[in-house]
Amino acid sequence: MKIRLYVLLFTLCALFAAGCAHADQSGDQNRENLPTISVIVNGTDNFSQGSMDLLKNYLRHYFRVYDSVRDAHADPFISRIISLEGDAVDNARNLALTLGTEYYASVNVVSGTEVTLTIFETATSEIVAAATGKGREDLKQQIIQNAINEIKNLQSRLDERKETGKPYKVVLLSSEEDGGGADRAISSELRILSSDQKVQRNAIGNSTYSYLVFVKRIPTAYDLFQALANDYDRAGGMEKVLDSGSFLVIKAASSGETGFSMLQSTESEAGESPKSNLCGAEGCKAGDIIRFGRYEQDNDGTNDVEPIEWQILEIKGGKALVMSVKGLEARRFNPENSGNSYSISEIRKWLTETFVDAAFTSREKGRIEPDQNRDLVTLLTSEEVERYFPEKCGRVVHPTAYARGKGAYAVGNSTCSGAGTDAGWWWLSSKGSGNEFALIVNFNGDIGNSDVYNPGYTVRPALWIRM
């Protein structure tokens, strides 16, 4: 029986932007939101092309379709992946990893009378849908109807992945001498980036390792490589061998002790300038200052944006609650006559949609733990201010030059000694005493009411960061 391999690549649009050169432009306007799939068809010469065409047309409702990938395009990579993963790995999955598709389907045809379709998630090899059609006369209708019933279940799978994160398969190549050190560094960093702080690790010999990790807010394997490479500080360095959607192969050497650079802590002693130290979960404590992310602060657009300094308020379970040391932006809480609910406020929208993208890289976002509202960044409540800053003068904020340039209030008559000439106000997320009032902290450290539309108060973002 002569077996032929037909490869159809269904790939993502902008969301995972790992794709191919020739896109199928047909379909709905929202096709760029669809996931990718590669379909491997093993069949005989008398395989019903009509059945496959019907199946393709239906799958197009669920996946972005490309028809231009040939066997020759993928063949050179298959042997490379088999050598990394081991002979037991399915060739269909190897091809899906190479092409970068998040799912792959194995279609088997037996003498034109039976068709089985099984859809897998590429990184995990888990079955997410299956369908079977039998008999020459009803083959088309049965396989299509079964496929419709089963593939519809993929929607819940996709919704689940939004919560757990996208699965990535990562392979590390190193030397016998450096493999252990590189493995420890990369394993540690992947745990930091992962959605659940877990990594499934497999050692292949003494110098090759594979990892399965679930990551939120990192859309492609290339972005994952950048997140790893940016913080890999061992002398041997790191280079990318292959990235394709959900599959990443890297080469790395090992030297030194730290592996990945960690958050920097700055402490000021009397009469001395701030000094930088490595700050791990065991080395940090409440009250310390760390640097994380970047945002414009000196109001000089000709230079790079400056690192953001955060004060640690609490450390719990390997995470730290931090708030910006300075008032980073001057903004109103809400427009006039728009109420004082933080959940639907203008300032929350700005924090979660504008500030978070401006201040943090994809890797940094991966270190932030969402709050109960699934926000990465928020504002403190009045109760939290009283808990973490029992002394009023410890609440006084100094707006950045950038915030002052945008209208932030700053005065020199604070009752707190050492407040200087630029003590300001900052917003809280708590409601005030009336519908048009929200709570603020003033230049003396007192908590009080303010009109929600006042534009001169500053924003001090707060967030939970994995240490």
Return the biggest CA–CA distance within the chain.
Answer: 91
Written as six digits, the tokens of 210 are 């594979």
pTM attached to this predicted model? 0.47
| Amino acid 229: pLDDT | 81
Rounded CA-CA distance 313/448 in Å is 22
Q: Cβ of 184: how many Cβ atoms within 10 Å?
A: 13
35 near 103, Cβ under 8 Å? yes
Separation between Cα atoms, residue 74 and residue 8, nearest integer Å? 11
Where do runs of H (alpha helix) occur along 40-170? 49-59, 71-85, 91-99, 139-151, 154-164
**Radius of gyration (C-alpha) of the chain in whole angstroms:** 27
Which residue type occupies 271?
A: G
DSSP code of 353? I
Determine how β-strand 458-459 pairs with β-strand 329-330: antiparallel
Give pLDDT, residue 89. 57
Distances, alpha carbon 322 to alpha carbons 230, 241, 405, in Å: 23, 37, 25
Instruction: For residue 320, give every residue at least 6 positions away whose Cβ sits within 8 Å of its Cβ, in sequence order, or none.
Output: 284, 290, 312, 313, 314, 464, 465, 467
The sign of the dihedral angle between the CA atoms of 160, 163, 166, 168 is negative
**β-pair partners for 37:** 10, 103
Which stretches in the chain have pLDDT values below 70? 1-33, 42-58, 64-89, 91, 110-113, 134-144, 147-148, 150-158, 162, 233-236, 254-283, 467
Say what the pLDDT of residue 399 is.
96
Place of tokens 């917003």: 427
3-state class of 287 per DSSP? coil
Q: Rounded distance, CA 108 to CA 90, Å?
A: 14
Closest CA to 117 of 155, 83, 145, 96: 145
- Give the residue from 374, 422, 376, 373 showing the smallest Cα distance to 398: 422
Q: What is the per-residue pLDDT for 43?
A: 63
Q: What is the pLDDT of residue 254?
A: 61
* Pairing, β 127-134 against β 103-110: unpaired
Looking up tokens 């959605």 gives 195
Q: Give the span between the Cα atoms of 298 and 87, in whole angstroms.
A: 57
Cβ 326 vs Cβ 425: under 8 Å: no
